[in-house]
Structures are given as C-alpha cells and as structure tokens.
Amino acid sequence: MKKSNFYWLPFLTVTLFLGVILTSTRKNTSEIKQEKPNILVILTDDMGYSDIGCFGSEIKTPHIDRLAYNGLRFTHFYNTGRCSPTRASLLTGLYPHQAGMGHLSTENHPQAGYIGDLSKNAVTLAEVLKNAGYSTFMTGKWHVAKENDYDGDKSNWPLQRGFDRFFGTLNGSGSFFDPGTLTSGNTNIPPYKGFYYTSAISDTTVKYIRESPSNKPFFGYIAYTAAHWPLHAPADEVKKYKGFFDKGWDVLREQRFKRLKELGIIDDAYVLTDRGVSIPAWKDEPMKEWQIRRMEVYAAMIDIMDQGIGKIISALEAKGVLDNTLIFYMHDNGGCAEPVGTDNMEIPLTEEQKVLKPYAYDSPNPDKKQRYTREGKFIRMGKGVMPGEADTWTGYNEEWANVSNTPFREYKQWVHEGGIASPLVIHWPKGIKSKGQLRPHPSHLIDIMATCLDITGIPYPNQFKDNNIQPLEGKSLLPAFQNKPIDREYLFWEHGANRAIRVGDWKLVSKTSFNKTFSEADEDKWELYDLIKDPTERIDLREKNPEKAMAMIKLYREKALYTKALPWPWKPKK
C-alpha cells in the first residue's frame, strides 16, 4: 500500500507540541527572572529622625518625599546607634555583635562580638544575591573592615564580600572635597577637579545602573556620608538655606514637632522632650550667626544628597525599571552630638612638618601634624569658624542634633530613641499598592535582608565559602506591606555599654555614666518605658513594674550572651 503524503503529520504535531512546551517553559523562566525586583538600599550618615521633609523637616527633600508618598513610611524603625555596627547589621541581617562589629572597625578587641572586622561566619546580602544571579554594586562608605591598607588584607573589602563594582571610601569619615580612602574597586584614587563626595556617589550610582546587564536584576547599596561631619558643602548650595534657621533651635524643634503630628507620624502620646541641659535657650546663645551657618551647611549637605537620589530615580525611569525596583531609605544612627571642631586648634606647622605632612586627607590628627589641605590651605577649626569650605573642620554638635532628633532625647552612640530611631521609606510600585501610608510596626535593620530574600524567594544559606553561617535574625517586613503584624519576640541593642531590649511595646534601656565604660554601678542602671503611652521615654516605670523589669533584665542578659554582646571589653576609666 502506498504511503500517504501526510505520514509525517503526527511527527510534526508532536514536534510542534514539544516546541510550544519548551518555548512556554523558557518564557515562564524568563518572566520569573524578570519578576525578581532590582533592589536599592540607601543609607545616610548621622541624620536624625526628623531631618527629611516627609518626617517633618524644613530641609528640602522632594525626591525622598516622592518615594515616601508613593510607597510606605515605617515610623518605628531602628538602627544600632552607630555607623560600623549599623552597616554590619544591615549587610548581614544579624545583630552587629554576631557580625563581629559590636563597636567600630577601628577598635579591635579579642571578644568575638568586638573584633572590628566583618565576620566570615556572616554572609552579606550582596553575596547571597550575587550567588542567585544578581549583578551587584556599591557606592559610598564601607567602614566594616579592620584593614584599610591598600597593600594589606582585602578579604573584607566590598569586592571580596559580594559586590561586582565598588566606588567609595573604606573608613568612617573624611573631607567631602578630598576623602582619604577614596577607592575604585580595590585601588586608591585621587579626587578629580570639582570633586564633591556626595555628588560623586550619586553620579557613580547612575553610571552603574545604566551599565547594569539587562539580562539580570541588580542590587545596589548606596551608603552616603552625608550629613556626617565635617560640615562641607559648595557655597551656592549653602546660600539656598539663608534665613531657614534664623529663628533658632527652640522654635525649629516646636515646628518640627507640629509637622510630625500633622503628618500622622506621631500622635498625642508624644511629648516633646526637654532641650539638652548643656544647650542654652536660643535667646541666650551668644554666637547666633555661627550657629545658623552650621545648620545651613548641614541642610545643604542633605539637599545635595536628595538631588542625587533624584538623579538615581531618573536613571531607573530611563532604564524602564523603576516600577520593579525595591528601594529602601534609612539612617545609620541619630543626630550626632559629638563636639567636633569647637576647640581652637589653629596651631601652624613648622616648615619641617609641612614637608612631612603636606596635606590632610581625613581629619586633623590629635598630634597636630596634619593641618593643611591638598592645596596647602590651613585647616581652620574652633568656635566662630564659618563651616562649608574645604579648609574648615567642624560639626553641628548637640545644639542642632537635638533638633534633628525631634521629638526624642539622646543622640548617636546611645540607645534611647534619639540614638536609634530612623525613618524607613520603602518604594516598590509593583509590590506596594498602599501608597503614602504609614506603618507603625517595630522593625530593625536586621529585617532588610529577610525582606529581600522573602520577596525574591532566594534561600538564606547555612554555609558560604566553606564557612558555617549564623541563622538569620531579621523578620520579613512583607506582611507589613499589607498592614499585617510581624511576629517577633524582641529587639536588642548594645553599644559602648549602653544597652536596651524591646519586647512588644515595652522597652528596657540603660545609659552608662561615661560612654564606653562599664562599672558595677552601671550593671543595675535600668529604665523601663511603655512606648505606647510614653514614646519619648520621659516616665521611668521600673519602680512601678518591678516584675516586668526583672523579667526583661533577665531576657536582656540571655540575649546579650546569645548575640555575642557579652562578654564586653569595656572597662571603667581609671
């Protein structure tokens, strides 16, 4: 019997069917990859709770505000109270002591929680995401490596901890016009003409976004040094804030407090804390012009950063990826009350010293041997020196940090609310439909990695590069996107022997008599607050609630051992 000319039709049907299945599979896999959001984590330096517009500030931050009003604002978000610990905690999803960073990377101790170097038994968010197919980059301040020597150990530098590209600085602070550890990849580089660090961070971030591969999602960690001292900003940016702060800190705190209430961020349970005891009433301040100038420069530094965030948003829009980019914005600690640059240190160098130390890259050293800029200008410090230019070195100090932390008390380094409360803004149009809403859920830096992994479906590893990895401490914030509760037992803090633990709405907190010391007298120096009725920590309830206080003290000690905050290296001053 003669074969039909259509004998091949069954085979063609099967082939076409298989082709459709394979094509469909390829398409679905591609769609799944495309559905994984890009992730940007933006961290700022030494800014208080009320320093951005959407949290009550008079400082202009329209681009951060845009993210807030088209996303979510978390009103009870916490950092660790200091720069190195915050960065370690944010990167690893662990409490800072578990990541080896109980204090600063410049202070190294034998105890596991205070080695001052990012632990190899902790994995960074960049390492996890890169291993899952993300391209990764970082711009800005690193400050979690013990070794900053370019000829030394680089195993804890950004490129060795999960980032494909890095532009920024390795240390904690420095000139905004001439930062000392300015680095590209693993290489020290000089600043270019017209360099200003905040703008360079923003511009490099834009470059990295534009150059990110189109076939994979990206993760970017943007760690601004604004608005950390020294107060440096171009003159034309400072001029924009002429007159903004002429009313002084007393009126400005009241105005911020009022705006926070109008925005719904705080309620009637909040009472504005008292002005710091060392701060005079504005009417009694003898150097008003100098004080105003300090805050004008500080505001300009934040404004420039916000402009850069606007450029980053525009780059995401131009690439067509803004809707599916998960953006986090937060601060590394509260406002900084450190008395930087108030002592008059205008002691000229000898000719021999000029030859040995021709310019200052970072801060002027205590031995007074580095006192000149790269261009040979003498670095001016002391009360009355108007900040802003590259040859000045000062901070805004407690007077204005008190305004930054409105409505709370205490500052950077302490773990009362003024030291650890931070705005958290989350923007993700594809995943957040409740635009402009507030979320009161208590949350912490440890939650950022957990949230990213929950959203992307990427598992957290038990091992990485032959190292056993500690269990993730954070909780995913994804339920809070739908205003559902986050199930957690506690939140924990220790820094410089200042201690705290929060359980539900109750907070146990302690402040040492002298920072970074710990004595027998401090051991039992606890305060207890109901943060629902008293969110600004004004009424100590320990004596009225002894059983609750003792239960929380016991829990603190257990968790201090668990998180490696004990044993501590702090010893009483002799």
* C-alpha distances in Å from residue 500, one per residue of 81, 191, 368, 507: 11, 41, 38, 7
Residue 11 lies in a domain: no
The predicted structure's pLDDT at residue 30: 36
Residues 388, 518 share a domain: no
- Whether 77 and 90 have beta carbons less than 8 Å apart is answered as no
Task: Decide which of 427, 455, 488 is a domain's last residue.
Answer: 488
Residues 6+ apart with CB under 8 A from 311: 202, 203, 206
Greater pLDDT, 479 or 10: 479
> Is residue 364 pLDDT above 70, yes or no?
no
Of 361-365, 367-371, 425-429, which one has max mean pLDDT?
A: 425-429
The predicted structure's pLDDT at residue 380: 87
> Is residue 369 pLDDT above 70, yes or no?
no
Say which CATH number the domain at 428 has: 3.40.720.10
Tell me the mean pLDDT in the region 404-411: 97
Tell me the mean pLDDT in the region 42-68: 98
> Is residue 61 pLDDT above 80, yes or no?
yes
The letter for the amino acid at 536 is T
Expressed as residue numbers, the domain containing 547 is: 489-574
The predicted structure's pLDDT at residue 52: 98
> Is residue 118 pLDDT above 90, yes or no?
yes
Residues 514, 475 share a domain: no
Residues 386, 467 share a domain: yes
> Is residue 4 pLDDT above 70, yes or no?
no
The predicted structure's pLDDT at residue 374: 80
> Is residue 561 pLDDT above 70, yes or no?
yes
Residues 6+ apart with CB under 8 A from 449: 90, 91, 92, 93, 125, 128, 460, 472, 474
The predicted structure's pLDDT at residue 517: 78
Strand, helix or coil for residue 179: coil
Mean pLDDT of the chain: 90
Task: Decide which of 434, 453, 488 is a domain's last residue.
Answer: 488
Separation between Cα atoms, residue 216 and residue 212, nearest integer Å:
8
> Is residue 358 pLDDT above 80, yes or no?
no
Say which CATH number the domain at 534 has: 3.30.1120.10
The predicted structure's pLDDT at residue 400: 98
Residue 20 lies in a domain: no
Give tens-digit pLDDT for 253-276.
999 999 999 999 999 999 999 998
Place of tokens 């450029």: 311
For 566, other C-beta atoms within 10 Å of its C-beta total 17
Predicted confidence band at 196 (pLDDT cuts at 50, 70, 90)?
Answer: very high
The predicted structure's pLDDT at residue 65: 98
Give tens-digit pLDDT for 287-337.
999 999 999 999 999 999 999 999 999 999 999 999 999 999 999 999 999
The tokens describing 261, both together, are 């209430």
Q: By CB neighbour count within 10 A (0-12 exposed, 13-18 middle, 19+ buried), where does 241 fall?
A: buried
Residue 338 lies in a domain: yes
The tokens describing 221, both together, are 């960690």
> Is residue 354 pLDDT above 80, yes or no?
no
Residues 516, 477 share a domain: no
The tokens describing 167, both together, are 């532009």
Residues 505, 390 share a domain: no
Residue 7 lies in a domain: no
Residues 189, 49 share a domain: yes
Give tens-digit pLDDT for 219-235.
999 999 999 999 999 99
Residue 552 lies in a domain: yes
Give tens-digit pLDDT for 483-542.
999 999 999 999 999 999 999 999 999 998 776 778 878 889 999 999 999 999 999 999
> Is residue 353 pLDDT above 60, yes or no?
no
Residues 114, 223 share a domain: yes
Separation between Cα atoms, residue 332 and residue 226, nearest integer Å:
11
Residues 425, 560 share a domain: no
The predicted structure's pLDDT at residue 18: 42
Quote the number of domains for the chain: 2
The predicted structure's pLDDT at residue 217: 98
> Is residue 207 pLDDT above 80, yes or no?
yes
Q: What are 421's strand-pairing partners?
A: 78
The tokens describing 11, both together, are 């085979």
> Is residue 362 pLDDT above 50, yes or no?
no
> Is residue 181 pLDDT above 60, yes or no?
yes
β-pair type (498-503, 491-495): antiparallel
Residues 6+ apart with CB under 8 A from 349: 357, 368, 369, 371, 372
- Whether 573 and 517 have beta carbons less than 8 Å apart is answered as yes
Residues 6+ apart with CB under 8 A from 1: none
Residue 28 lies in a domain: no
Give tens-digit pLDDT for 440-473.
999 999 999 999 999 999 999 999 999 999 999 9
- Whether 347 and 371 have beta carbons less than 8 Å apart is answered as yes
Share of the chain above pLDDT 70, in %: 89
| Run of H or E including 78 | strand 72-78
β-pair type (38-44, 325-331): parallel
Residues 503, 572 share a domain: yes
Task: Decide which of 471, 488, 505 is a domain's last residue.
Answer: 488
Residues 198, 143 share a domain: yes
The predicted structure's pLDDT at residue 573: 55
Give tens-digit pLDDT for 536-560.
999 999 999 999 999 999 999 999 9
Q: Which of 12-26, 398-412, 417-431 has the lowest mean pLDDT?
A: 12-26
Tell me the mean pLDDT in the region 475-479: 98
- Whether 473 and 562 have beta carbons less than 8 Å apart is answered as no
Tell me the mean pLDDT in the region 379-403: 94
Note the Cα 313 to chain centre separation in Å.
19
Residue 30 lies in a domain: no
Note the Cα 452 to chain centre separation in Å.
16
Residues 210, 191 share a domain: yes
Note the Cα 285 to chain centre separation in Å.
32
- Whether 77 and 421 have beta carbons less than 8 Å apart is answered as yes
Residue 560 lies in a domain: yes
> Is residue 25 pLDDT above 50, yes or no?
no
The tokens describing 232, both together, are 């440096």
Residues 396, 495 share a domain: no
The predicted structure's pLDDT at residue 572: 60
> Is residue 173 pLDDT above 80, yes or no?
yes
